[in-house]
Amino acid sequence: MVYFPIAFVHPLDEFDVQSAIQCAAKLNIPTVARSGGHSYEAYSLGGQDCSLVINLGHFKNITIDTISQTAVIGTGIPVKPLYHKVHEHWFAFPAGLCPLVGVGGHMMGGGMGFLSRKFGMAADNILDAQIVLANGTVVYSAKEYPELLWAIRGAGNAGYGIITALTLRIHPIPKIVTRLIINYDFDQTPLLFSVLDQLGPNFHQNLTLYVVINSDSDTGPSTSIDCIYLGSADEFRQHVDVQEFIKLSKPKNVTYIENDLYYFQVVKNMTLHGYYKSPSFFFDQRGIPDEGIKYYMQFMKTFKCRAHSKTLLIAGGKVNEISRNEIAYVHRGFKYHIAMAVPFPDAHSEETKECIQELEKFNKHFLQNYASYECYQNLIDRQLDNWQC
């Protein structure tokens, strides 16, 4: 999706942002903030032609205070330098997997990733913010306006103002972390979910786990588990529930990779380029119904384009310890979240059009019949029915 903005502004500080907003208001031009530019629907280009794009690329500061366990950051940075910088002090911050996602759009819409089970969503860890409001007022501390601070943590990329800085709670992490990769035969997917349904909610919070299901017409569909455990492989193995899980789910192979670089584990994940869609599905404590798993597997087996999907185990984690009303990020109490990523190298080809139609059909049926009615707003999709409601 490409839109043509009327101009890009590259402010150096909050006063430049203020001037740009006031100038655009006088000229009746819609303004939009751009942080990492990863909006699936290109909303940081305005989502329509002729917007004024306020690019926060110069807001790059990162200041760490290990005593108060906080970081103050500009909203123009991607998550990678944040992970890198806090890790120099053996701290981490819970946010997404893609290293280039910008903190501006990402954290304000939620922000889930490898540390969510332990520390919650990125938005749960926002303590304060500096915002330039639509009338040009600079709010230096959103804490003085509790409703504003409440709203931006989960809906902050929806137009309350342009957020120029954030104060974050950062977390000490052990020096050694362990990555665990478990491969399965694709046909074992239902068994895997039934074992995960029973044992997953009791897994230690140091463990964040994704079920990864990929479709690829060349190699066929595949299923694996990708986890990060905050501790050594030996400590990990002492968690009997995980050993039980491995025994019951009958994997093809199990690999432990011990590493002292948490951020390395995260940023080495592959980034896909080009246009793509990313359907989102939440499942309550009953899990994914058997029929739903069959439907999902059938789609991954027969889909003509490539599709990646990651199911995050939310149950038993920090995200669910926070009430639905505490901040504007509302998706609490779920067992799993599936995020799909379907890349389309050529956005205008016939094959892409067919695949998008097929994906939408799947998306609609899966949402209506097997998932909850909620979708994660960071995986925005303008083709969803009634998404504005």
Ligand X SMILES: Cc1cc2nc3c(=O)[nH]c(=O)nc-3n(C[C@H](O)[C@H](O)[C@H](O)COP(=O)(O)OP(=O)(O)OC[C@H]3O[C@@H](n4cnc5c(N)ncnc54)[C@H](O)[C@@H]3O)c2cc1C
Applying CB under 6 A, the residues found at the interface with ligand X are: 32-40, 43-44, 56, 75, 96-98, 101-102, 104-106, 108-113, 156-157, 162-163, 271-272, 378-379
**CA dist 173 to 22, 151, 169, 239, Å?**
43, 29, 13, 18
Whole-number minimum distance, CB 166 to ligand X, in Å? 9
Query: Based on CB atoms, which residue is closest to ligand X, 109 or 154?
Result: 109
The helix or strand, by DSSP H or E, that contains position 164, with its residue range, turns out to be strand 162-169
| Count of C-beta atoms within a 10 Å radius of residue 115 | 28
> Of the two residues 29 and 176, which places its CB atom closer to ligand X in the complex?
29
Nearer to ligand X, 34 or 306 (CB): 34
- Under DSSP, is residue 155 helix (H, G, I), strand (E, B) or coil? helix
- To the nearest whole angstrom, how small is the minimum distance from the Cβ of residue 340 to ligand X? 11
3-state secondary structure of 376: coil
Q: How far is the CB of 112 from ligand X (least distance, A)?
A: 4
Residue type, 240: V
Strand partners, 336: 283, 313
Cβ–Cβ under 8 Å, residues 96 and 339: no
- Residue position matching structure tokens 């120099």: 88
Shortest distance, position 207 Cβ to ligand X, whole Å? 17
Least separation in angstroms between residue 316's CB and ligand X is 19
Helix pair 240-249, 189-199: axis angle to 10 deg: 160
Judge whether 95 and 116 are in contact, CB under 8 Å: no
| CA–CA dist 370, 68 (Å, integer) | 44
Which of 157/208 has CB closer to ligand X? Answer: 157
Report the residue number, 47 or 289, with the smaller CB distance to ligand X. Answer: 47
Question: How far apart are CB 197 and ligand X at their closest, in Å?
Answer: 23
Choice between 97 and 173, CB closer to ligand X: 97
Side-chain half-sphere CA neighbours of 30 within 13 A: 13
Going by C-alpha positions, the residue among 372, 296, 298, 380 that lies closest to residue 335 is 372
Least distance in angstroms from the C-beta of 59 to ligand X: 8
CB atoms inside a 10 Å sphere around CB 229: 26
Nearer to ligand X, 76 or 251 (CB): 76
Please report how close the Cβ of residue 332 comes to ligand X at its closest, in angstroms.
Answer: 15
- Are 212 and 226 in contact by the 8 Å Cβ rule? The answer is yes
* Structure tokens, 188: 């074992």
C-beta of 361 vs 382, nearer to ligand X:
382
CA distance 37 to 41: 10
CB of 240 to ligand X, least distance (A): 30
Q: Which DSSP letter does residue 221 get? A: -
DSSP string, 17-66: HHHHHHHHHHTT--EEEESS---TT-GGGTSSSSPEEEE-TT---EEEET
Among candidates 43, 35, 53, which has minimal Cα distance to 2? 43
| Shortest Cβ 152–ligand X spacing (Å) | 8
Neighbours of 98 (CB within 10 A): 21
**Closer Cβ to ligand X, 39 or 224, answer by number:** 39
Nearer to ligand X, 195 or 338 (CB): 338
